[in-house]
Amino acid sequence: MPYALQRPRLWYERSGAGEPLLLITGFTISSAIFDPIVGLYESEFDCIRYDHRGSGRSGAPPWPTSMPELAGDAVRLLDALGIESAHVYGLSMGGMVAQEMAIRFPDRVRGLVLGCSTAGGPRAIRPTLREWKALLGAMAGGLREEGRPWLAGALFSDEFRREHPERVRELLRFFAAHRAPPHGAASHLLASVYHDTVSRLHLIESPTLVLHGECDAMAPIANARLIADRIPDAEFQVVKGAGHAYGLEAPELSHDLFLDWIHSKQPIDAGRSRRDVAAPFEPATRALGLPIGMLRTGRSLAGFAADKITRRDTAQNGGDDDGGGPDVAVDRRAA
């Protein structure tokens, strides 16, 4: 098996020819999840996929990690492969990693695709009570039905599960492949909980496509709209009728949306190297990614609460609430 890097070593696979396309998988899931669809992309792209530290076939250090550290792993993998920059396509938690990568290492990212992801933090849109009930009902139904594991209800649309049960069972095997150890899963959970890029998405300079399944039960589609609104000139596309795992449920449509977008933007060069005052300290802030994420999330939560109090007081006083800027506008939509 091919490995790159040390401490921890990362398992990776590379296939196809063309411009490099880095495919970043999600929460505790190995890059085997790309196996059913990577063939669609290999004719035009040099496809690189890998397992995050703490999951799959990669090393699993006993200490916690963070999104900045996971983004650093992606860059170190590119270094090991001699790739200066790549198109970056992150799915779910992989989209969080891709956001950090584009913010911290703009010179390593060409086109950026954020699929079924979220900016995290207190301002992220949570599922409504109605959506939670539907999700839990679908998952409970999976427990009752033979051959339909509970995870299917979280990943695929009701229609897809109803009309293609055999395909669902086949696809679920890729989610179960190379399972993460418990401490690796816990590490990914901490990194996800303290991921918050809402206040920094405007720093992303890469041409960006935000993709989201219309029927995503795990990450409300409003999160995709929030991301697209915050990133300058980002484009937002909905994969009609698909759930969280839209790339597997609607592979051809997802591929076509991606290809149409990237062809419309070509040629896409990598961004400029960072020149801000914090740039020299990036390695240090990456190493402290988890505590910094905790502080950032706490600050965001305080701002979120203050905004709510301001809107409440304004409403009680009969004044006009103009939204107080983009953050409050997002909060109103989330509510």
Question: Residue 221 above 90 pLDDT?
Answer: yes
Question: Rounded mean pLDDT of 202-213?
Answer: 97
**Strand ranges, E, within the chain:** 3-4, 10-16, 19-24, 45-50, 86-91, 109-115, 208-213, 235-239
In CATH terms, 3-127+179-265 corresponds, of 3.30.70.660, 3.40.50.1820, 3.40.50.1970, 3.90.180.10, to 3.40.50.1820
Give the model confidence (pLDDT) of 148-159 as tens digits.
466 888 899 999
3: confidence class by pLDDT, cuts 50, 70, 90:
confident
State the DSSP H helix or E strand holding residue 241, giving kind and residue range, or none if neither. Answer: none
Question: Rounded mean pLDDT of 262-280?
Answer: 94
Q: What is the pLDDT of residue 202?
A: 97
Q: How far is CA 143 from the centre of its chain?
A: 27
For the chain, give every domain's residue range.
3-127+179-265
319: confidence class by pLDDT, cuts 50, 70, 90:
low
Question: Residue 308 above 70 pLDDT?
Answer: no
Give the model confidence (pLDDT) of 233-257 as tens digits.
999 999 999 999 999 999 999 999 9
Look at the pTM and tell me if it is higher than 0.75: yes
Question: Residue 269 above 90 pLDDT?
Answer: yes
Q: How far is CA 33 from the centre of its chain?
A: 14
116: confidence class by pLDDT, cuts 50, 70, 90:
very high
More confident residue, 86 or 333: 86
Question: Residue 215 above 50 pLDDT?
Answer: yes
Q: What is the pLDDT of residue 304?
A: 60
Cis before residue 8, ω within 30 degrees of 0? yes
Q: What is the pLDDT of residue 149?
A: 61
131: confidence class by pLDDT, cuts 50, 70, 90:
very low
Q: Which of 285, 235, 190, 263 is nearest to 19 (CA)?
A: 263
310: confidence class by pLDDT, cuts 50, 70, 90:
low
Question: Rounded mean pLDDT of 266-280?
Answer: 93
Question: Rounded mean pLDDT of 308-326?
Answer: 56
Sign of CA dihedral 128, 133, 139, 142: negative
